[in-house]
């Protein structure tokens, strides 16, 4: 049988992984990518002064089994190309003490006591923080609430032992450093994520030592070319035509960069191309348009109605400011830092301490996970708003507007709104809208992307790689090719978590104790003494204290 011809749309991690695995099985693969570069959310933008910078300083977890296997397969050496780290930091405002606190190997039992007394929050609240993680895992076999309907914050608020400082710790690490808003993220997906993190709690996490392009995307593109994969950039898919339950052709259009909006827009006429097998690995929002566009009766949704639901999946941009100082600031940690209580949900990583090309002067990749708070009239004003909030934490002169401060290297400092690269949000109640890898009613169509339905729950690079493998595996199976194998991260037996839940009394005691411990920000809370744990337990109809406090 002749090897299938596969057209892959989308040159992000999911599409490129699928292309590689299919080419390894002898398929003739062509990839179309709408932008002028590969990588999607992991792409790097070239800088005028040379070099490049990433969408976000991505963090790589030890349990990313398929991602690390992919790195091995394309000859990327982990020790050489990635830098291990074992802690993340929380930074408080200049007026508060302690300024810095750190969480070390947050998922490791050995560091429980160290983390409890790390000053991220008062020690009883840190005990509550740890217990809440295990309690969430115990929900798998001993449900007490309907997790499907709850965000992570909603779940935390539902726990009788919960405290304000424990929620604040989740906010620092999930919303700010992981850039995933805890108030939107489905508790169920966070549960799945935690399930994979705990068994590797003793291991390091990783950052790249230079751009994602040089570390991952370039070696991956070379490996694809060695396998004969054709990579076509600057061309976007605009339509898919389905006849009798089979994709027959696709519409393609050249693109060009609109430098004002930093968007790749279609230009010129749309040309049609016949396809044999089609694998779509584009973001959910794009897919949602593509399946609904075209001549009625020949659109994807005319055959696979459930894909209408894609419209319910959401994504959020995470603007980033690459802030170059003229000098090296002292006392800044190189690991990821979340800014406690930041209304813009700011976090930063000092790349000058990890990337050789920025050595010698501090360069912060400062991200904002609350983009709605950026009300500037233009990108520079938005960047300046971020700078001004950062100055509440870091001692430096901002000036009155963009371009004024003497301490900043303005020629190199750049703000990116990241409109074109959005983080898929694992929002509550959207699970049913996540598509599988091969729509049942269209024989030669396959789907990949971090938003697809998969065993990993949360949006991560491992989810993107795994979804690429899963879609490729289905295609290979349907075409009668050799099996494409996927790896699954280790998990612990659920009995461990249900046993730990027996410590509920300790968590409740910790909450009571926490109220007596002074901590920055706590004394100014007018509601602090107004509700006892007993009244909370006896009057579940009342808004929980924690929710009222944050309003």
Ligand X SMILES: Cc1cc2nc3c(=O)[nH]c(=O)nc-3n(C[C@H](O)[C@H](O)[C@H](O)COP(=O)(O)OP(=O)(O)OC[C@H]3O[C@@H](n4cnc5c(N)ncnc54)[C@H](O)[C@@H]3O)c2cc1C
Q: Which of 8, 168, 278, 282 binds ligand X (CB under 6 A)?
A: 282
Residue 179 engages ligand X in binding (rule: CB under 6 A): yes
Q: Which of 4, 6, 7, 14 binds ligand X (CB under 6 A)?
A: 14
User: How many CB atoms sit inside 10 A of residue 195's CB?
Assistant: 21
Rounded Cα distance, 136 and 155, in Å: 8
Residue 368 engages ligand X in binding (rule: CB under 6 A): no
Rounded Cα distance, 113 and 283, in Å: 42
Nearer to ligand X, 283 or 379 (CB): 283
Q: Which long-range CB contacts under 8 A does 519-526 form with residues at least 24 apart? A: 519/121, 519/122, 519/165, 520/92, 520/96, 520/97, 521/96, 521/341, 522/164, 522/165, 525/164, 525/549
Q: Which of 169, 281, 473, 486 binds ligand X (CB under 6 A)?
A: 281
Q: Which of 35, 92, 102, 416 binds ligand X (CB under 6 A)?
A: 35
**Shortest approach of ligand X to residue 530 CB, angstroms?**
39
Supply the DSSP string of 269-281, one letter for each residue.
Answer: EEEEEE-SEEEE-
User: Which tokens in the block code for residue 209?
Assistant: 């030592």
**Shortest approach of ligand X to residue 315 CB, angstroms?**
8
**Shortest approach of ligand X to residue 113 CB, angstroms?**
28
Stretch that binds ligand X, among 123-131, 281-289, 297-305, 515-523 (CB under 6 A): 281-289
Stretch that binds ligand X, among 187-195, 282-290, 291-299, 472-480 (CB under 6 A): 282-290
**How many residues sit in the footprint of ligand X (CB under 6 A)?**
36
Distance from chain centroid for Cα 195: 17
Residue 318 engages ligand X in binding (rule: CB under 6 A): yes
Task: Please write down the HEC assignment for all residues of 217-239.
Answer: HHHHHHHHHHCCCEEEECEEEEE
Rounded Cα distance, 475 and 335, in Å: 40
Q: Which of 6, 19, 20, 41 binds ligand X (CB under 6 A)?
A: 41
Residue 42 engages ligand X in binding (rule: CB under 6 A): yes
Find the binding residues for ligand X in span 196-255 (CB under 6 A).
236-237
- The site string for ligand X over 370-389 (x = CB under 6 A, - otherwise) reads --------------------
Q: Are 114 and 413 in contact (CB under 8 A)?
A: no
Q: Which of 30, 58, 308, 547 binds ligand X (CB under 6 A)?
A: 58
Residue 461 engages ligand X in binding (rule: CB under 6 A): yes
**Shortest approach of ligand X to residue 425 CB, angstroms?**
10
Residue 13 engages ligand X in binding (rule: CB under 6 A): yes
Terminal-residue alpha carbon distance, the chain: 64
Residue 9 engages ligand X in binding (rule: CB under 6 A): yes
Nearer to ligand X, 13 or 103 (CB): 13
Residue 59 engages ligand X in binding (rule: CB under 6 A): yes
Residue 33 engages ligand X in binding (rule: CB under 6 A): yes
Residue 364 engages ligand X in binding (rule: CB under 6 A): no
Residue 10 engages ligand X in binding (rule: CB under 6 A): yes
**Shortest approach of ligand X to residue 37 CB, angstroms?**
8
- The site string for ligand X over 321-360 (x = CB under 6 A, - otherwise) reads ----------------------------------------
Stretch that binds ligand X, among 54-62, 189-197, 431-439, 526-534 (CB under 6 A): 54-62
Residue 172 engages ligand X in binding (rule: CB under 6 A): no
Nearer to ligand X, 103 or 463 (CB): 463
**Shortest approach of ligand X to residue 88 CB, angstroms?**
11
Stretch that binds ligand X, among 158-166, 194-202, 278-286, 487-495 (CB under 6 A): 278-286
Closest CA to 420 of 288, 236, 280, 261: 261
Q: Are 139 and 154 in contact (CB under 8 A)?
A: no
Paired sense of beta strands 246-258 and 235-243, if any: antiparallel
Q: Are 533 and 508 in contact (CB under 8 A)?
A: yes
User: Which tokens in the block code for residue 4?
Assistant: 């299938």
Stretch that binds ligand X, among 28-36, 103-111, 294-302, 470-478 (CB under 6 A): 28-36
Q: Are 365 and 320 in contact (CB under 8 A)?
A: yes
Tell me the backbone φ, ψ of residue 536, rounded to 5 degrees: -65, -45
Q: Which of 4, 11, 154, 219 binds ligand X (CB under 6 A)?
A: 11
Residue 34 engages ligand X in binding (rule: CB under 6 A): yes
**Shortest approach of ligand X to residue 176 CB, angstroms?**
12
Q: Which of 91, 217, 224, 421 binds ligand X (CB under 6 A)?
A: 421
Q: Which of 18, 32, 446, 489 binds ligand X (CB under 6 A)?
A: 32
Letter string b/e over residues 2-36, b meaning 16 or more CB atoms within 10 A of that residue's CB: eebebbbbbbbbbbbbbbbbbbbbbbbbbbbbbbe
User: Which tokens in the block code for residue 90?
Assistant: 């929380």
Helix (H) or strand (E) holding 82: strand 82-85
Letter string b/e over residues 385-409, b meaning 16 or more CB atoms within 10 A of that residue's CB: bbbebbebbbeeebeeebeebeebe
User: Which tokens in the block code for residue 264?
Assistant: 């790749």
List contacts with ligand X (CB under 6 A). 9-15, 32-35, 40-42, 55-56, 58-59, 179, 236-237, 281-283, 286, 318, 421-423, 449-450, 459-461, 463-464
């Amino acid at each position: 049988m002749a090897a299938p011809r596969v057209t892959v749309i989308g040159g992000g991690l999911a599409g490129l992984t699928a292309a590689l695995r299919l080419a390894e099985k002898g398929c003739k693969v062509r990839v179309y990518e709408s932008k002028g570069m590969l990588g999607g959310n992991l792409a790097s933008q070239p800088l005028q002064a040379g070099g490049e910078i990433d969408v976000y300083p991505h963090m790589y977890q030890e349990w990313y089994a398929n991602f690390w296997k992919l790195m091995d397969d394309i000859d990327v050496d982990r020790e050489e190309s990635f830098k291990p780290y074992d802690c993340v930091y929380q930074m408080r405002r200049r007026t508060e003490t302690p300024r810095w606190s750190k969480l070390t190997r947050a998922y490791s039992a050995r560091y429980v006591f160290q983390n409890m007394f790390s000053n991220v929050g008062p020690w009883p609240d840190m005990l509550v923080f740890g217990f809440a993680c295990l309690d969430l895992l115990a929900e798998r076999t001993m449900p007490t609430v309907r997790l499907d309907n709850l965000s992570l914050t909603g779940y935390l608020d539902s726990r009788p032992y919960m405290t304000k400082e424990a929620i604040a710790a989740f906010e620092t690490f999930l919303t700010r450093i992981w850039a995933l808003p805890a108030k939107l993220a489905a508790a169920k997906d966070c549960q799945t994520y935690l399930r994979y993190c705990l068994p590797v709690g003793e291991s390091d996490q990783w950052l790249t030592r230079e751009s994602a392009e040089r570390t991952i995307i370039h070696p991956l593109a070379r490996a694809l070319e060695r396998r004969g994969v054709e990579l076509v950039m600057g061309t976007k898919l605009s339509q898919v035509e389905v006849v009798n339950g089979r994709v027959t052709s696709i519409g393609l259009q050249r693109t060009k960069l609109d430098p004002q909006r930093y968007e790749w827009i279609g230009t010129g006429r749309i040309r049609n191309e016949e396809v044999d097998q089609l694998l779509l690995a584009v973001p959910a929002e794009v897919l949602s348009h593509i399946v609904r566009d075209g001549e009625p009766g020949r659109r994807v949704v005319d055959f696979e109605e459930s894909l209408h639901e894609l419209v319910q999946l959401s994504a959020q941009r995470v603007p980033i400011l690459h802030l170059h100082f003229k000098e090296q600031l002292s006392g800044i940690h190189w690991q990821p830092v979340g800014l406690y209580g930041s209304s813009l949900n700011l976090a930063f990583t000092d790349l000058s301490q990890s990337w050789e090309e920025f050595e010698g002067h501090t360069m912060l990749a400062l991200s904002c996970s609350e983009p709605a708070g950026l009300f500037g009239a233009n990108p520079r004003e938005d960047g300046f708003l971020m700078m001004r909030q950062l100055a509440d934490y870091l001692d430096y002169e901002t000036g009155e507007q963009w371009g004024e401060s003497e301490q900043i290297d303005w020629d190199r400092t750049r703000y990116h709104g990241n409109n074109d690269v959005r983080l898929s949000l694992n929002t509550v109640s959207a699970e049913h809208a996540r598509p599988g890898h091969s729509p049942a009613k269209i024989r030669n169509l396959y789907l990949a992307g971090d938003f697809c339905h998969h065993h990993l729950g949360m949006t991560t690079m491992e989810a993107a790689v795994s979804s690429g493998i899963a879609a490729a595996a289905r295609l290979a199976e349907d075409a009668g090719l050799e099996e494409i194998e996927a790896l699954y991260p280790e998990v612990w037996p659920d009995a461990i978590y249900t046993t730990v839940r027996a410590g509920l009394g300790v968590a409740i005691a910790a909450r009571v104790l926490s109220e007596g411990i002074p901590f920055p920000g706590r004394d100014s809370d007018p509601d602090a003494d107004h509700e006892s744990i007993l009244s909370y337990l006896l009057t579940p109809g009342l808004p929980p204290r924690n929710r009222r406090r944050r309003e």
